[in-house]
Amino acid sequence: MSRSTRKLHLAVAQLGPVQRADSRAQAVRRLLAMLEDAAARGARWLTFPELALTTFFPRWDLEDPAEIRGFFETEMPGPETQPLFDAARQRGIGFSLGYAELDGDTQYNTSILVGPDGRILGKYRKIHIPGDAQSRSGAALQHLEKKYFAVGDLGFPVWKTEDAAIGMCICNDRRWPETFRVMGLQGVDVVMLGYNTPSGYVQWNEPIHLRMHHHLLSLQAAAYQNACWVAAAAKAGIEEDSPMIGGSAIVAPTGEVMVRTFSEDDEVINFVCDLSVCDHYRANIFNFAAHRRPEHYGLIVSRTGAGAPLSAG
């Protein structure tokens, strides 16, 4: 490949477990320490995890509305999160941050994009909400995101910042190719993704090594097929007896994992990304305008499930 380069320094802040008793202020202090670390390494944009301010509460079937509301943010920034915005501005580093959002009476699993000037550029609300709306009797594990979160209503926007075209998605969204293709069709250079992936899952029982395999497989395929970088941040480790995978990573448009976390605790990784690799793939194998055939893709938007089997004749 001979080409000019377009460099962007990305970082990912993996967060170790956040327990139920931990306060917002404690979580923000840990995020701030990692933001300072990333800035000291020279990073320009930083990904924080999904629901980074609290423990992953959808593992519980909570009934008390006041207790549930306690996990949600009604303003962003609020008094406890303002220091992150101040630090971003002072250090000239942008970030994405996942949190539970209360908008009127509607609850969303949300991520915001904050520019290196400390101002909010945009918001994404998780679309592929996994799990159940009601707890399963007798199940050792619960995953009740459908109980707590409405389906996001903002689509998959891409923000054309002065550094790059940046999009966001959240956790389970990464398993769905549509997520990335919609952003790929907007010329996304970098997708910032936060996740909380339990090592076991209520809806099926698969060998534990497959959790990491499917995580990386999804990131690598998405980055390659959409000619973009993916910067993915876990909340990892054992939270309230529930183990969650790490594997935070920065993945290139080649599909290669360029850097990956070692631990399941607070850990920063960084990589100087060449965005011209995106241009190269977009001009060649994934030149969408030249090679896509949307006239044959109608089922993707007209059907959710597999539907009736196709006729053999």
Query: What is the set of active-site residues?
Result: 50, 126, 171
* CA torsion through residues 296, 301, 303, 304, sign: positive
Could you say which residues in the range 138-157 bind ligand CDV, by CB under 6 A? Answer: 143
Question: Which of 14, 96, 142, 197 touches ligand CDV by CB under 6 A?
Answer: 197
- The nearest distance, CB 218 to ligand CDV, in angstroms, is 9
- The nearest distance, CB 174 to ligand CDV, in angstroms, is 7
Q: How far is CA 281 from CA 61, 120, 209, 285, in A?
A: 45, 30, 31, 6
Residue 131 binds ligand CDV, judged by CB under 6 A:
yes
Determine phi and psi for 269, rounding to 5 degrees.
Answer: -125, 155
Residue 130 binds ligand CDV, judged by CB under 6 A:
yes
- The nearest distance, CB 171 to ligand CDV, in angstroms, is 3
As a whole number of angstroms, the distance between CA 277 and CA 162 comes to 18
- The nearest distance, CB 87 to ligand CDV, in angstroms, is 26
Question: Which of 161, 172, 242, 270 touches ligand CDV by CB under 6 A?
Answer: 172
Q: Which stretch binds ligand CDV (CB under 6 A): 12-20, 95-103, 192-200, 234-242?
A: 192-200
Question: Hey, what amino acid is at 97?
Answer: L
Residue 195 binds ligand CDV, judged by CB under 6 A:
yes
Q: Which stretch binds ligand CDV (CB under 6 A): 155-163, 189-197, 288-296, 300-308?
A: 189-197
30, 15 contact by CB (below 8 A):
yes
C-alpha dihedral (223, 228, 229, 233), degrees to nearest 10: -60
Quick one: 50 or 267, whose CB is closer to ligand CDV? 50
Output the 3-class SS for 25-58: HHHHHHHHHHHHHHHHCCCCEEECCCCCCCCCHH
- The nearest distance, CB 143 to ligand CDV, in angstroms, is 5
Angle between helices 24-40 and 82-91 (to 10 degrees): 10
Question: Hey, what amino acid is at 58?
Answer: P
Residues at the interface with ligand CDV (CB under 6 A):
50, 130-131, 143, 171-172, 175, 195-197, 201
